[in-house]
Amino acid sequence: MKSPSNIMRQSSLTKLGSMINTAVNKRSGNGDIQWCFSQVKGTLEEDVTEADIISCVEFNHDGDLLATGDKGGRVVIFQRDPISKNSIPRRGEYNVYSTFQSHEPEFDYLKSLEIEEKINKIRWLKRKNPAHFLLSTNDKTIKLWKVSERDKRVEGYNTKEENGTIRDPACITALRVPTIKPMELMVEASPRRIFANAHTYHINSISVNSDQETYLSADDLRINLWHLEITDQSFNIVDIKPTNMEELTEVITAAEFHPAECNVLVYSSSKGTIRLCDMRSAALCDQHSKLFEEPEDPTNRSFFSEIISSISDVKLSNSGRYMISRDYLSVKVWDLQMETKPIECYPVHEYLRSKLCSLYENDCIFDKFECCWSGNDSAIMTGSYNNFFRVFDRTTKRDLTLEAARDIAKPKTLLKPRKVCTGGKRKKDEISVDCLDFNKKILHTAWHPSENVVAVAATNNLFLFQDKL
């Protein structure tokens, strides 16, 4: 069975590699932002396997850990370097903390469907004890992982040898008191829960509720509510599947819980609408409480209007007052108290409007770009092509285009703001829109919850940038 998102040509997530690039941001006197490269770890490989492409990036709630998932089903967790964290000024340097295989490829024999191991989303739970917990999902199965440290071992068991084999009871002639001895630090990742068999179509979103007891998972047509302690059942809270699939006009593209109100959630659709649902009003939230939709400008109407209006990502602000939505050409900021139109609109790559025909031919027009908030909700970040990513300052209304490029991998190399030229005459520092590489794209980004440290996934490379105070 084909997913409705494939039918409607909604596609494409990306994956992971073994390299970190850390960069530092400098502010000049006029308020413009400059970046310089600070540190590189790993190797820059020419050949990139598909399994190594990063498919999701997520900071935990205090920003000390950063998790990435890839198309090969692996999760790599990076930990902030303690020296860089405590230095003045603080630096955003991360080292590999743990790597584990989260998902394996599967085959659904009933539907003759191959299920990829690709990690679609990772979400952290708030820390309640020394261990860390995170949810990871591929197209069908969600897993809850426990990541814990062990630096001590027990020796001197009575009933088993040191290698773990069971001793012959006849050989036990004396009682020994086990002792605890220090050992080299070991980080262990173990699956605690597996939530499966609840989605007919591909899972595109998971979101942990503010109560830290429940979470939602969304596919193209349904949203399910889970309890973290119950794996064999979930509650369907949104179902937009029509009786006749030939009448299908839209699919769910993203869903998220409100950061503070456990009864409120939002979900976006391929029709360019965002629906806010209140679970207190009805058990099945098919009737939304609010509908956020911008009226279409008739002058911009074209063959591609429906495709480029599809919302690929929606994120509620940390304060819970606003939300951002990303469509193909822009990022919009919405006030939850005003449904009629967005309060801010930022063009990401408007110069591609004239290239929509060729982007349709190479399927790039169906790329799903993510977006994210800064910790204090004053700035927004999202990706573009040619390994460009865009930062929008909501206070000053300034915007910045930067490139996560391989040639910056030298200490203290300044990153100059990039500009794209659409006309015939091109300035020295500009790049022509015809020269953009559409195979290099920044789909996945993340912002540190309290500091100006950002993570940018560029194919199999992970770049980290920091605002220099």
pLDDT tens track for 11-65: 332 233 333 344 433 333 344 445 555 444 434 555 678 999 999 999 999 999 9
Within 154-293, residue ranges assigned H as helices are none
Q: For position 44, what pLDDT does the model report?
A: 54
DSSP string, 79-109: EE-HHHHHSSS----EEEEEEEE----EEET
Q: Is residue 3 in a domain?
A: no
Distance CA 74, CA 85 (A): 27
Q: Of 201, 190, 275, 192, which is closest to residue 229 (Cα–Cα)?
A: 192
Residue found under tokens 């939002």: 266
Q: How many Cβ atoms are within 10 Å of 131's Cβ, its own excluded?
A: 14
The pLDDT score that the predictor gives to residue 162 is 73
Amino acid at site 428:
K
Least confident of 17-26, 42-51, 301-310, 389-398: 17-26
pLDDT, the chain, mean: 86
pLDDT at 410: 63
- CA dist 32 and 34 (Å) reads 7
How many domains does the structure of the chain reveal? 1
pLDDT of res. 4? 53
Cα–Cα distance for residue pair 189/173, rounded to 1 Å:
37
185-189 average pLDDT score: 89
Residue scoring higher pLDDT (296 or 408): 296
Peptide bond before 191: cis, by omega within 30 degrees of 0? no
pLDDT of residue 102: 97
Give, in degrees to the nearest 5, the angle at Cα 258 between 230 and 377: 135
Q: What is the pLDDT of residue 426?
A: 73
Q: What angle do CA 53, 55, 60 make, to 5 degrees?
A: 125
Residue 7 in domain: no
SS3 401: strand
Residue 2: is its pLDDT beyond 50? no
Q: Please name the residue that has the structure tokens 């599967």.
A: 106
386's CB contacts (< 8 A; 6+ apart) are 403, 431, 436, 437, 438, 440
**Between 73 and 86, where is the model more confident?**
73
Residue 34: predicted pLDDT: 54
Whats the size of the chain, residue-wise?
A: 469
The residue assigned the tokens 């230095």 is: 87
Least confident of 34-43, 65-74, 298-307: 34-43
Residue 379, Cα to own-chain centre: how many angstroms?
A: 17
pTM of the model: 0.86
In a domain, 176, yes or no: yes
Q: Kindly report the CA angle at 47 between 41 and 48, in degrees rounded to 5?
A: 75
Residue 384's nearest CA partner among 411, 410, 416, 359 is: 359
In a domain, 151, yes or no: yes
Among 83-97, 124-138, 245-259, 398-412, the minimum mean pLDDT is found in 398-412
* CA–CA separation, 25 and 37 (whole Å): 9
Q: Residue 260 and residue 252: Cα distance in Å, rounded?
A: 23
Percent of the chain at pLDDT > 90 equals 63
Average pLDDT of the residues in 185-211: 95
Note the pLDDT of residue 166. 84
Question: How high is the pLDDT of residue 442?
Answer: 96
Return the H-helix or E-strand segment holding 302.
none
Residue 23 has a CB neighbour count (10 Å cut-off) of: 26
Residue 89, preceding peptide bond in cis (omega within 30° of 0): yes
CB atoms within 10 A of CB 414: 11
Q: Which two tokens stand for residue 72?
A: 């090969």
Bigger pLDDT: 357 or 184? 357
- Residue 353, burial from CB neighbour count under 10 angstroms (0-12, 13-18, 19+): middle
Contacts of 285 (CB under 8 A, 6+ apart): 223, 237, 238, 265, 277, 278, 279
Task: Tell me if 77 is assigned to some domain.
Answer: yes
pLDDT, position 40: 44
CA-wise closest residue to 115 among 84, 142, 88: 142
Say if 125 falls within a structural domain.
yes
**Residue 253, class by beta-carbon neighbours within 10 Å (0-12 exposed, 13-18 middle, 19+ buried)?**
buried
CA-closest candidate to residue 339, choices 286, 253, 273: 273
The answer on pLDDT for 362 being more than 90 is yes
CATH of the domain at 120: 2.130.10.10
φ, ψ for residue 323 (rounded to 5)? -150, 155
Does residue 135 lie in a domain region? yes
pLDDT tens, position by position, 263-298: 999 999 999 999 999 999 988 998 999 999 998 878
The domain in which residue 195 lies consists of: 35-467
Could you say which DSSP state residue 378 is in?
S
Instruction: Kindly state whether residue 194 falls inside one of the protein's structural domains.
Output: yes
The better pLDDT of the pair 56, 413 is held by: 56
Q: Of 439, 424, 438, whose CA–CA distance to 352 is shortest?
A: 438
